[in-house]
Amino acid sequence: MPKKVAANQLEHLQLVNAKPSEKETYLNDGAGLWVVIHADGAKRFQYQFSVLGKRGKMWLGYFPAISLAEARQLRDEHAAIVKQGQDPRIARKIEKITQAATAATTFEAVAREWHTKKLNSWSEDHGKKIMESLVADAFPILGNMPIADINSPLVLMTIKKIEARGAVETAQRILQRIGAVMRYAMQTGRTLTDPTYKLAETLTAPKVVHRPAMPRKELPEYYRRLAAEPLHPLTKNALELLAYTFVRPGELRGAKWEEFDFEEAEWRIPAERMKMRAPHIVPLSRQALAVLDALRPHSKRSAFVFPAQTDHEKPMSENTMGYALGRMGYKDIHCPHGFRSLASTVLNEEGFDADVIERQLAHAEKNKVRAAYHRAQYLKERRALMQWWADYLDSKKPGVNVVPLNLNKVA
């Protein structure tokens, strides 16, 4: 070791004015704190100690990024650890590991991890909006908290703060997203409970906005406009399949080829993509299969049936079909979700069994026994219903004069 220059309780100016030499120079501040002046002029604090008969040393940082007073404080903290018979280098490593583990389990860290894993199932715009909403309304209160420490009162305080500014619908969405993050944390072993459970009951109910749906008499004009409008073929096919299947728009946009069983003529939507978090079967009519057959040559380009035009690894934008309907003159008259209302209205008016219709709409069934029964039954009736519906839609297209035969009316 180079010769040490003895000194005691150094002054700030001494360190500022200290000049390097060809070899490292050591300035002693006392009680184990040294300043090492390197040949290149860098000045670094070092703590030297002895624990259990073994000598050790550790770097504390560079001067002047760390002041002399700060270095002494660090020395005193490490000296206290030495007094307990522990090596401060090991203690520092343990502290860093603990801090890293804590940082990885904060609400913000888990939320960002959840968001990254979900990105492929969202459009780019939707994924961006979700993260922006969490940054604005969830992270300021919950972000730095260990996720296991988050409880219902904290979540409620976060949501009520949003409600207080009159953003009732935003409060509902943030609660849903916090709940999704908490359930992901449960699945990955970082918390035991979901504190958002039943909190929705405490929030102000948002005003119900009825999504516009065209009346059945408008269908011939709708199909005339659809045929005439120069839409992108993928958008036009999406509108066709949405009408034939009357699933929720998000379920259609996120459809993947692996969900379709062409031999059984079924579209099997997994629970995680359904609003009610239960798997759903959509019997495919001949017309729906024809739309999918037209798209299948492009299936190798993307896992999605309707990929985004700019990035085939992501689904179609949530605004695409709505924008197309607006171009066709249906703004405030009919929206993508409106096909569900239209199908429900027509099928009920035509006398189809209400239970069969509700099951095909994948509406929630509060009675669990009845819900299980519905999942097991009605598939034959639903196949007939979906084929009748597709035939009915085709009968409204220009140049078609076929009247669909309904053999499934309730007497």
DSSP 110-153: HHHHHHHHHGGGS-HHHHHHHHHHHHHHTHHHHTTSBGGG--HH
Residues classed as catalytic: 248, 275, 337, 340, 363, 373
How far from the centroid of its chain's Cα atoms is residue 376's Cα? Answer: 31
- CATH domain 107-202 topology: DNA polymerase; domain 1 (1.10.150)
List the beta bridge partners of residue 57.
48
pTM score of the predicted model: 0.54
Task: Return the CATH architecture of domain 216-396.
Answer: Orthogonal Bundle (1.10)
Cite the residue boundaries of each domain of the chain with CATH code 1.10.443.10: 216-396
Asked whether the CA dihedral 140, 144, 147, 153 is positive or negative, the reply is negative
- What is the predicted pLDDT for the residue at 297? 84
Cite the residue boundaries of each domain of the chain with CATH code 1.10.150.130: 107-202
Question: How many CA atoms does the CB half-sphere of 80 hold within 13 Å?
Answer: 6
> Which class would CATH give 12-86?
alpha beta
CA angle, corner 372, sides to 392 and 370, nearest 5? 85
Q: Alpha-carbon distance 125 to 318, whole Å? A: 8
Cite the residue boundaries of each domain of the chain with CATH code 3.30.160.390: 12-86
Pairing of strands 260-261, 266-269: antiparallel
- What is the predicted pLDDT for the residue at 6? 47
**What is the total residue count of the chain?**
411
pLDDT tens string, the chain, 411 residues long: the values are 444 444 467 899 989 999 999 999 999 999 899 999 999 999 999 999 998 889 999 999 999 999 999 999 999 999 999 999 998 998 888 877 766 666 678 999 999 999 999 888 776 778 888 999 999 999 999 999 999 999 999 999 999 999 998 888 899 999 999 999 999 999 988 899 999 988 887 777 666 667 899 999 999 999 999 999 999 999 999 999 999 999 999 999 999 999 999 999 999 998 888 876 678 899 999 999 999 999 988 777 899 999 998 888 889 998 999 999 999 999 999 999 999 999 999 999 999 999 899 999 988 665 555 555 555 468 999 999 999 999 999 999 987 655 565 655 543
- What is the predicted pLDDT for the residue at 366? 55
